Structure 1
Amino acid sequence: MNTPSFRAGQADGTSIRIGALVPLTRPGWIEAGRHLLAGLELAVREVNDAGGVAERPIDLVVRDTAADPRRAAAAVEELARLGAVALAGEYHSVVARTAATKAAALSLPYLCSSAVLDELTEQPTEWVARIAPAQSRGWRIYADFLLGAGHSRIAVAAESSVYWTAGTRILRDHLAPRDGTVIEFDMRALTPTALCDELADSRATALLLLVGNPDPAVPIVKAVRRDRRLTEVLIGAPAGQPELPAWAELLGADGAGIPFLRYLPEHLGPLGARIGTALRERLAETPSFVAFEGYDTITVLAAMMNEYGADRRSLARAWPRIAVEGTRGRIRFSRTPGISVRQWTWAPIHVADRDPADPDRFRFLHAG
């Protein structure tokens, strides 16, 4: 597999090579990949400008996963052969799970940036850690938000994937003891118009989008917004589709008022604010939490290499010993029940939406 290599350091034989897995082409969520890559590259540039790791520059070698698990597995094998001391990145949970499994089998440390699926590997491993919060934590927080807002009869418009199935299960398990109900609509069998008919008959007061973006998420939002029977139905997107700028560009006012999970504090500290400004300049738009996750990933790996050495085994042993100031708080890794990899416990989480009065502005709705 020949995929582009994007170099942020000097590949002169003295550099430290880090492999980056990023969705840069369809069917991957390209916009999320672009933000993730911006954060990774900004952090590499800052590390190298400050003298690198032990006076050696980082060479970031990027591979496009295109949301394809097989392509990701091949990329991990290639990066291992190229001498990468660690892997970073990936946005899509199913892809990250394949990459994590392959990395563990090859004894290659992997710090996952954005994927949240709880079972990132089937068996516990010392070779993988994660910056993003686990899906179970975030989606339970989202369920609490729904209950607090008066929604106990919830419909989900879902596609078929391990990630969406896990999300539905988390919601149902958390809502059921609190007299909540989850009604599933299979978007493999329904058009957006047919979904509206089913939703109107369901008596659900909220519809959650457990589907890909922009299709079919955007057509579903447009159909529901235009159906007079559904004017009181809350549309939600726990997976974060409204976070990225294209959402507002495609939907305008229709895309506002749709709550989603956002992995940022309500207010950034000095480091986060500085990096936010730099990311905005790099992206020419508001940086998403995905870009901050990318930056934090490289920051952690660089700190680990500086303190414990730039070889694979030393890095794998360093997860529980490292503590690094990231853009969104102090990052430490630990074992969390039910999570198979080392986990930052926990990244900040809140529920936000785009302000109907100004879709370019985010509103803070609920804290995790």
Structure 2
Amino acid sequence: MVKAACRRHDQVGTAQLPSTAERTNGASIRIGALVPLSRPGWVEAGQHLLAGLELAVREVNDNGGILGKPLELIVRDTAADPQRATAAVDELAGLGVAALAGEYHSVAARAAAARADALGLPFLCSSAVLDALTEQPTDWVARLAPAQSYGWKIYADFLLNAGHRRIAVAIQPSVYWASGTRILRDYLAPRGGTVLELDMGAHAPTAVCDQLVENRATALLLLVGYPEPAASIVRSVRRDQRLAGLLIGAPAGQPEFAEWLTLLGDDGNSIPFLRYLPERFSSLGVRVEAALREQLTEAPSFLAFEGYDTLTVLAEVLRSHGVDKERKVEYWSRVAVEGTRGKIQFSRTPGISVWQWTWPPVQVVDRDPNEPDRFRILHAG
């Protein structure tokens, strides 16, 4: 039995990428983990993602490791900062990692993917959904999470099926939010829907309410930072009697975590968001869910399962191909791994520059106002 290893550091630097021989002669096989563990990153997301990564590493090592060597997880906090993510990739490459895993924030993941591609270092992105994860097609990067254009269209279908045609978005400057707005507008317009942008740099949360009333919006989507200004917008809308029938939505998933309820209480219920879980788990999913719940001391989010599946895939790839960089295409094209949420295989998908799992299960869910700890499945794709 090989004992699990995990190292967490925040230092970042720049180093040269070791040769293949240098990366295979160590006592352990190192995996670099990129996760947001400090503000302005979404810390709870990072904690759940890391819990899944760590659980999978322990299980791999308890079962003999990779070709007799233990996996070692070396963790770097990106704090959702693209420059910090790039520097972390350089440092991890210098430390001889065989591959990179993780990241939640699209802006940080995109920077990490670009650097991994330039270095020729395999990177399996766990959670970031931005379609254009790299500028050009690459064989070095793959992704487990569904592309934004896939998941957000499912969210748009939910809105249409619920009778919403006049959609407002409270938005802040970000390539991720701008991409989401474009996806919604392009999908809704041919189906009779409209999207009104409310720039949160120009509107206070209370002023948003007046705009919603004036434009007769029936739904407001939160495409803004968390916890602020998202929480303030929710409070303002909930307290405005003119907007009693308005749907508040958060496709990016802000209501997923316990902190949301701590901040907003009952105001945080009935806010639909996207998550990437099946309606029913396989036996593997059930077992992993129980282990993650014990580790986190709370119900695991979909991010924890993404983390677990990421390391499960990388472990299989390393068993099959080692760290032979001359066989980079085979890293992803031949993967067929049973994950917690279904069979994972990667393909080339039009409009997406990385190898993509097509597709993870997608749900639109909200917190039940009668049982806030329970999620209701409102729509699935």
TM-score, length basis structure 2: 0.93
User: 1:247 Cα deviation (Å)?
Assistant: 1.1
How far did 1:316 drift?
4.6
Instruction: Give the distance between the partners of 2:70 and 2:327, measured in 1 at CA.
Output: 18
Match of 2:242 among 203, 206, 229: 229
1:89 aligns with 2:102: yes
Q: Separation in 2 of the partners of 1:268 and 1:212?
A: 31
CA distance in 1, matches of 2:328, 2:231: 42
Q: Structure 1 residues 122, 361: closer, same or farther in 2, change over 3 A?
A: same
Q: Secondary structure at the match of 2:323?
A: coil
How far apart, CA to CA, are the structure 1 residues paired with 2:237 and 2:299?
A: 27
Aligned runs of 1:136-285 on 2, under 5 Å? Answer: 136-285=149-298
Hey, what's the Cα distance between the residues in 2 that align with 1:19 and 1:225? 43
Looking at structure 2, the residues matched to 367 and 178 of structure 1 have their Cα atoms a distance apart, in angstroms, of 19
Cα contact 2:171–2:177 (8 A) shared by 1: yes
Q: Does 1:124 align with 2:124?
A: no
1:43 counterpart = 2:50 = no
Which position in structure 2 is the counterpart of 1:3?
Answer: 10
Instruction: Report what 1:297 is aligned to.
Output: 310
| Shift in alpha-carbon separation, 1:259–1:105, aligned structure 2, 3 A | same
Alpha-carbon shift at residue 4 of structure 1 (Å) = 5.8
* Residue 158 (structure 1) shift: 0.5
Residue 80 of structure 2 corresponds to residue 67 of structure 1: yes
Distance 1:163 1:58 in 2: 33
Q: Distance in 2 between matches of 1:196 and 1:258?
A: 17
How many residue pairs align between the two structures?
Answer: 361
Could you list the runs of 5+ residues in structure 1 that have no partner in the other structure?
6-11
AA matched with 1:232: G
What per-residue deviation string (whole Å, max 9, x for no partner) do you get for residues 117-138 of structure 1?
Answer: 0000010000000000000000
For residue 4 of structure 2, what is the aligned residue in structure 1?
none
> How much has 1:315 moved relative to structure 2?
5.1
Q: Identity percentage over the alignment?
A: 69
User: Residues 86 and 312 of structure 1 are in contact (CA less than 8 Å); yes or no, is this contact kept in structure 2?
Assistant: no
For the 8 Å contact 1:18–1:60, the answer to whether it is kept is yes
Tell me which residue corresponds to 2:370.
Answer: 357
Q: Does the CA contact (< 8 Å) of 2:52 and 2:307 recur in 1?
A: yes
Aligned amino acid, residue 63 of structure 1: R
Please report how far the alpha carbon of residue 314 of structure 1 lies from its aligned counterpart in structure 2 after TM superposition: 3.6
2:325 paired with 1:325: no
1:191 Cα offset (Å): 1.2
Whole-Å separation in 2 of the counterparts to 1:331 and 1:35:
20
Q: Contact 1:225–1:254 at 8 Å: present in 2 too?
A: yes
Matched residue type, 1:328: R
**1:16 paired to 2:16:** no
Aligned partner letter, 2:37 = L
Cα distance in 1 for partners of 2:360, 2:230 equals 26
Answer whether contact 2:205 2:233 (CA < 8 A) is retained: yes
Other-structure match for 1:134: 147
Matched to 2:106, the amino acid is S
- What is the DSSP-based 3-state SS (H/G/I as helix, E as strand, rest coil) of the residue aligned with 2:305? helix
Distance 1:96 1:176 in 2: 30
Q: 1 CA distance for matches of 2:117 and 2:286?
A: 35
- Kindly indicate whether the alpha-carbon contact (under 8 Å) linking 2:168 and 2:198 is maintained by their aligned counterparts in 1: yes
> Is residue 113 from structure 1 mapped to residue 126 from structure 2 by the alignment?
yes
Is residue 310 of structure 1 aligned with residue 323 of structure 2?
A: yes
Q: Which range moves more in the overlay, 193-202 or 69-78?
A: 193-202
Deviations 1:213-267 (A, max 9, x none): 1111111111110111110100000111111121122212111111111100111
Are 1:366 and 2:379 counterparts? yes
Distance 1:185 1:312 in 2: 47
Map of 1:27 onto structure 2 = 40
Tell me the TM-score normalised to structure 1 length: 0.96
One-letter amino acid of the structure 2 residue matched with residue 194 of structure 1: A
Contact 2:139–2:328 (CA<8 Å) still a contact in 1?
Answer: no
Letter in 2 for 1:335: R
2: CA distance, partners of 1:24 / 1:16:
23
2:21 maps to which residue?
A: none
The Cα RMSD (Å) is 1.3
Gap runs ≥5 in structure 2: 1-8, 13-24
Cα pair 1:248 1:360 within 8 Å, conserved = no
Is the Cα contact below 8 Å between 1:304 and 1:315 reproduced in 2?
no
